[in-house]
Amino acid sequence: MKGIQNLRVDYSGKKINIHTINNNPINEFKIWFKSAQENNILEPNAMTLSTFSDTSGINSRTVLLKGVEEKGFIFYTNYNSRKGVDINNNNNVSLVFLWKEIEKQIIVKGKASKISKKESKKYFESRPRKSKIAAWASKQSSEIKDEKELNSRFLEYEKKFLDDKIPLPDFWGGYIIVPDSIEFWIGRKSRMHDRIIYLKNNDDWVIKKLYP
Ligand SMILES: Cc1cc2nc3c(=O)[nH]c(=O)nc-3n(C[C@H](O)[C@H](O)[C@H](O)COP(=O)(O)O)c2cc1C
Distance of CA 207 to the CA centre of its chain: 23
Q: What is the CATH number of domain 8-126+170-210?
A: 2.30.110.10
Q: What is the pLDDT of residue 100?
A: 95
Query: For the chain, how far is it from start to end, CA to CA, in angstroms?
Result: 29
Containing H/E element for 6? none
Angle subtended by helix axes 148-160 and 129-137, to nearest 10: 120
Query: How many alpha carbons fall within 13 Å on the CB side of residue 53?
Result: 13
Q: What is the pLDDT of residue 13?
A: 79
> Could you tell me if the CB of 77 is within 6 A of ligand 1?
yes
Q: What is the pLDDT of residue 4?
A: 92
Buried b (16+ CB within 10 A) or exposed e, 58-86: ebeeebebeebeeebbbbbbbbbbbbbbb
> Could you tell me if the CB of 46 is within 6 A of ligand 1?
yes
Q: How do the pLDDT tens digits run along the chain, 212 residues long?
A: 999 999 988 888 788 888 889 999 999 999 999 999 999 999 999 999 999 999 889 999 999 999 999 999 999 999 999 999 999 999 999 999 999 999 999 999 999 999 999 999 999 999 999 999 999 999 999 999 998 999 999 999 999 999 789 999 999 999 999 999 999 999 988 888 899 999 999 999 999 999 99
Q: Where would I find the H helices in the chain?
A: 25-38, 82-89, 117-125, 129-137, 148-160
61 is a catalytic site residue: no
Q: What is the pLDDT of residue 114?
A: 98
Q: Which numbered atom of ligand 1 lies nearest the CA of 140? A: 22
Q: What is the pLDDT of residue 89?
A: 96
Rounded Cα distance, 153 and 119, in Å: 26
Rounded Cα distance, 192 and 198, in Å: 20
Cα R_g (the chain), whole angstroms: 20
Domain boundaries, the chain: 8-126+170-210
Nearest CA residue ID for atom 5, ligand 1: 63
CA distances from 133 to 21, 122, 151, 173 (A): 43, 16, 11, 14
Q: What is the pLDDT of residue 25?
A: 98
Nearest CA residue ID for atom 29, ligand 1: 62
Q: Of 8, 127, 129, 191, which one is the catalytic site residue?
A: 191
Number of H helices, E strands in the chain: 5, 8
Nearest CA residue ID for atom 4, ligand 1: 63
Distance 151 CA to ligand 1 centre (A): 19
Q: What is the pLDDT of residue 179?
A: 98
